[in-house]
Structure 1
Amino acid sequence: MYYDQDERGPGRIGAKALALFFAAIVIAGISFLAGTLMGPLKAVEPSGLEAQFPGITDIEDFEKLFEVRETLYQTYYKDIDDSVLIEGAIKGMVNSLGDPYTVFFNAEEYSAFNEEGTGNYVGIGIMVGAKDDKIVVITTFDGTPAYKAGIRSGDVIVKVEGVEYKGSQMDQAVSIIRGEAGQAVNFTIERDGIQMDLSVVRDHIKLVNVEAEMLESGVGLVTLLQFSENTSSEFKGALDSLKAQGAKGFIVDLRGNPGGYLDESIKIASNFIRKDADVVYTLDKFGQKKTYKSYGGDYMGVPLVVLIDEGSASASEVVAGALKDYGAATFVGHNSFGKGIVQMVYNVGEAEGLKVTVSSYYSPKGTNIHGTGIMPDLVVDLPEGFSEGEYDRLKDTQLQKALEILKGKLGN
């Protein structure tokens, strides 16, 4: 950027240059979060930006931004770091949208965000979402620090380190929750109208995304924890392995699965949907439609039961919505979370990132589940206190009902 020096401070940035700088932030990339597609922004000099973005006509509207900056430089009693001002201005612009899923990441935050996509990161082991302007725990992964501390799916995060956060401030809360291994982070959570304080020590989190097990009577159980890199190939491998062991039908457990990469969910749904059939489509504010089609698979028509609950979100709901529309599975459990919007991730500069809600997604029959979720065919409650103790499959009433239904389909 260009600075005109004067004696009153480090300099004044031309309004036109920074307005064009802001414009450069919101172009290009390709990566989805009901899924994620990624690509770098093209580096463009400010003089070239004028030609590349001829539609920019409101440069003068940014003048007060520099008026404030100049006043700060002239009057603030401490030294000022321009990089901090710029980050604050960008985050303020993004946060003004009031969308908790549209977030600007500084370099440290972007690195942590990308690590989480691999299922190997430092944290406490939860995934959160925004609902009714509250920060809601979508899932707590078994065996993680958060699980051991007592945080559960459905809990509302009221405070982090004593500061209260709303759903619209989710990214701010998440930035505080992130940190170094071995350090504690303090929460106030709300469950069933009762608030409680908890302290959780961050640790290295390594998630196994796919678990497979043979149950009784030719039934294979596949549990999906999230849709991260290579989850679809692991899922296909699990199906093939269980089939080789004699599985004639499958239970797919999406409970507590917060979602992840859209492309992975398309590939997973494709195992059960004919080639070139619609799996999901998106619509942006311009009415542009993009349809994602099935790759085809080896398990079309196989007896299938899918478990969902309030922790099944985003990419999980893409899979569930498609299978439900095609009648490919019976659904057991509770209503899903209801996140029917898609984010794209853009690389900004050398190491920063911007995650933007770009469209709504729809099931093959045109259903958007944002805010409502997917209702199972059979609602089954878990026993009171079930999540508090060590997991007991025989007490898992949802799994037992799924097993009963699948055995019926198999004629057992």
Structure 2
Amino acid sequence: MQTALLLVLMPAGVPAAELPRSGNLVFDRVIALVNSEFHDESALDRFNETAKKEIEDVGQALPPHASTARVDAAIDGALASLQASHNGRFKPDTIAYFELSDIFRFAIRNDLSRLFPPEGEVSYPGIGLVTRMIGDKRFVGDVYDGSPAAKAGVVMGDEILSVDGLPYREIASFQGKVGQSVDIRLRRKADVAPTNVKVAVERLRPLPTFEKAIENSIAVREHGGRKIGYVRFWTLSTRDGLDIVASELSDGRLSGVDGVVVDLRGRWGGGAADAAELFVGDTPSFRLIPRHGRATLANVRWRGPVVALIDEGTRSGLELFAYALRINGIPLVGKRTAGALLAGRAYILPDDSLLEIAVSDAVIDDDVRLEGNGITPDIPVDLPLAYAAGRDPQREAAVSEMLRLLADGNSDRIVMPGGPPLTP
């Protein structure tokens, strides 16, 4: 048990003796941590009342032998009562558990070597996609650029029917199969017969996988004589993601384009609060040029036209990125952002699941709150997922908007006073 976790078991706001207690170590640790660490004390009465009700609904305390499903439901119900983002419990049978463990690796550093032996490098067996349930059917929501799934031709909108003849499971479907291939049975269109696709299973390290996906997302397409660049920021939490894009803008694939479509439809936020300065900052671009060897890229600022893509995956640091683009006159295309801008921290629970808690509020310019509000797009565009066959109408609309800006010769940015309209 970590010392840091021992310290938070005596919350300042509510006496320890008055906290709801169930007798279940995992449930009780969640209650103690939230009371100690959640940023908004005014929500704790509601949270504790909900926790008590979750216990009472069972008719008794949640003992150590209580069913996993019952404990999970009780924890989820209590956390939902906080009515805030960046609060959740994640278990090792989900991709999110591994991705957040890598993102929060400093916060859980004392547990890394035990959870991910021998050297504490977070990894999981997978193929590089995430799915979403629509009704009782499972569809591919995203395919990480450059992943085994992408190389095998799996695309957004495919219905996943089975993996090696069994129902799809995020981790279990690929456990023990690294270096092998799995047979994924999928349906691309509602009225066609299923097909089988062989996909190689790899041991994926989350943050390096995201860096690779950012790099592999970069593309240049010519439309009507105009070169339009594209890059997708899957997350801002990687070490080198921004540097990869900066290098491509400076003297790489994006250096000669007429405009850039910046895709902020991410998986996670995180990252530096000033990440958007790559596209809207006022400092000059410059390099350090030594007597011998290559010049070092010290600072890059893209001065050309930009169009950005947003949706409900635009959250946290990516949402702040979108806000910075908006107030600098850059058009946003897609759907409303998540309205999830708080600062979270991770804790390891007694069953080795991961608990994220919103430990700080986030306010922009003293009076703008994106949490619970989000940012509405300038050009709303839906993206129907089921059987999309990889078609992305939001991206198509962003390219059309870029071509319009270039054709009009009106790609100068107009700073909007007062900030963006927020959706209540």
Instruction: Specify the TM-score bucket, using the shorter chain as the normaliser.
Output: 0.5 to 0.7
Aligned to 1:184: 182
Q: 1:203 to 1:313 in 2, by over 3 A?
A: farther
- Residue type of the partner of 1:18? G
Is 1:209 aligned to residue 209 of structure 2? Answer: no
Aligned to 1:254: 263
Aligned to 1:92: 73
Q: 1:345 to 1:193 in 2, by over 3 A?
A: farther
Aligned to 1:267: 274
Percent sequence identity over aligned pairs: 14
Q: 1:380 to 1:89 in 2, by over 3 A?
A: closer
- Residue type of the partner of 1:335? G
Aligned partner (choices 320, 325, 328) of residue 326 of structure 1: 328
Deviations 1:27-67 (A, max 9, x none): 559xxxxxxxxxx99xxxxxxxxxxx9x9798797478695
Q: Distance in 1 between matches of 2:200 and 2:279?
A: 38
Aligned to 1:104: 89
Q: Distance in 2 between matches of 1:192 and 1:370?
A: 35
8 Å contact kept, 2:270–2:318? no
Aligned to 2:244: 234
Deviations 1:3-49 (A, max 9, x none): xxxxxxxxxxxx957267523225559xxxxxxxxxx99xxxxxxxx
Aligned-CA RMSD value:
5.9
Q: What SS does structure 2 have at the residue aligned with 1:268? A: coil
Q: 1:324 to 1:352 in 2, by over 3 A?
A: same
CA shift for structure 1 position 209: 2.0
Q: Distance in 2 between matches of 1:97 and 1:193?
A: 42
Q: What SS does structure 1 have at the residue aligned with 2:23? A: helix
CA shift for structure 1 position 240: 3.8
Deviations 1:77-118 (A, max 9, x none): xxxxx6x75754432323446979965334565763347759
Aligned partner (choices 112, 120, 125) of residue 122 of structure 1: 125
Q: Distance in 1 between matches of 2:376 and 2:158?
A: 20
Q: 1:92 to 1:238 in 2, by over 3 A?
A: same
Q: What SS does structure 2 have at the residue aligned with 1:152? A: coil
Which consecutive residues of structure 2, in runs of 5 or more, have no partner in the other structure?
2-19, 39-44, 104-120, 283-298, 413-424
- Residue type of the partner of 1:325? I
Q: 1:352 to 1:311 in 2, by over 3 A?
A: closer
Aligned to 2:405: 405
Aligned to 1:113: 99
Q: 1:237 to 1:150 in 2, by over 3 A?
A: closer
Q: Distance in 2 between matches of 1:359 and 1:132?
A: 35
Deviations 1:318-372 (A, max 9, x none): 4334312331x244xx624743335835222474312468899898895869899
Which consecutive residues of structure 1, in runs of 5 or more, have no partner in the other structure?
2-14, 30-39, 42-52, 71-81, 165-172, 276-296, 390-394
Is 1:141 aligned to residue 144 of structure 2? Answer: yes
Aligned to 2:110: none
- Residue type of the partner of 1:254? D
8 Å contact kept, 2:23–2:62? no
Structure with the higher strand share, 1 or 2? 1
- Residue type of the partner of 2:75? V
CA shift for structure 1 position 303: 2.8
CA shift for structure 1 position 134: 7.7
- Residue type of the partner of 1:346? A
Q: TM-score, normalised by structure 2?
A: 0.51
User: What does 1:220-369 correspond to in 2, within 5 Å?
Assistant: 221=229, 223-227=231-235, 228-230=237-239, 231-241=241-251, 250-254=259-263, 257-264=265-272, 266-273=273-280, 299=301, 302-308=303-309, 313-314=314-315, 316-327=318-329, 329-331=330-332, 335-336=334-335, 338-341=337-340, 344-349=344-349, 351-355=352-356
Aligned partner (choices 7, 19, 23) of residue 18 of structure 1: 23
Q: What SS does structure 2 have at the residue aligned with 1:299? A: coil
- Residue type of the partner of 1:210? E
Deviations 1:287-345 (A, max 9, x none): xxxxxxxxxx8638x23222527696435454334312331x244xx624743335835
Q: What SS does structure 1 have at the residue aligned with 2:275? A: helix
Q: 1:138 to 1:213 in 2, by over 3 A?
A: closer
**Across the two proteins, how many residue pairs are aligned to each other?**
321
Q: What SS does structure 2 have at the residue aligned with 1:303? A: coil
Q: Distance in 2 between matches of 1:136 and 1:28?
A: 35
CA shift for structure 1 position 251: 0.5
Q: Distance in 2 between matches of 1:184 and 1:102?
A: 34
- Residue type of the partner of 1:226? W
CA shift for structure 1 position 223: 1.3
CA shift for structure 1 position 254: 0.9
Q: 1:250 to 1:88 in 2, by over 3 A?
A: same
